[in-house]
Amino acid sequence: MPQPPILPLIDWPEVFTSGKTYDKWIGDAGAPDNAKAMEEQRAAQRLEPHEEALLAALPRTVHVVAIAEDWCGDVVRHVPVLQRLADAAPKLQVRFIERGQHPDVFARFLTNGGEAIPKFVFLSDRFVECGNWGPMPALCRELLSRGKACGDVGAARQKVGALYQADADKREVVRELLALIDIASSSAP
């Protein structure tokens, strides 16, 4: 039986260190209107008291490599949620990279073979990969996959738009990101 190809190891500490902090990334934004929108959404993002408490009490550091570019609508929609979580969590450290900065990393996180962003890669305090998220909530990804399968991506995009409108507070994104943060910060199985 043939062996599957072995992918090269990713030097996660190097990738993380090469990234920009949120303040640097947003300050360097090529789309000032999008940067302004992200800052407004970040400030408006509501977290429940129990979420704030969970984030404030993380037992271990969690590193997140965010593959994001400010021109993308899903980046504008979802990066403020991630950053708001980081604002509430002293042990949640996020660094931003662009797709072309580490093509070997980005190639591992394609969405159904496509170059969709954002992608958030969650790493433990020892830079062990623990999960990834993006470019949108799981239900939205499922709808788009179904749309591709049946040949009606347009209808799927309309349904995704309706889901975004129905979840204006981005509660589903918060829930999914918190689950990955919990895994990456775990001190026991």
DSSP 55-121: HHT-SS-EEEEEE--TT-HHHHHHHHHHHHHHHH-TTEEEEEE-GGGSHHHHHTT-BTTB--S-EEE
CATH number at residue 23: 3.40.30.10
For residue 8, the model assigns a pLDDT of 80
Residue 2 maps to a domain: no
Residue 67 maps to a domain: yes
Count of structural domains within the chain:
1
Residue 3 maps to a domain: no
Q: What are the average pLDDT values for consecutive 10-residue runs of the chain, which has 189 residues?
A: 77 98 97 97 97 97 98 97 98 97 93 92 97 97 95 96 95 98 94
For residue 5, the model assigns a pLDDT of 72
For residue 114, the model assigns a pLDDT of 86
pTM: 0.94
DSSP state of 151: T
For residue 3, the model assigns a pLDDT of 73
For residue 2, the model assigns a pLDDT of 74
Six-digit token string for 189:
């199985």
Residue 116 maps to a domain: yes
For residue 7, the model assigns a pLDDT of 76
For residue 27, the model assigns a pLDDT of 96
For residue 112, the model assigns a pLDDT of 83
Residue 105 maps to a domain: yes
Domain that includes residue 65, residue range = 12-135+171-184
Residue 28 maps to a domain: yes
Residue 26 maps to a domain: yes
Residue 156 maps to a domain: no
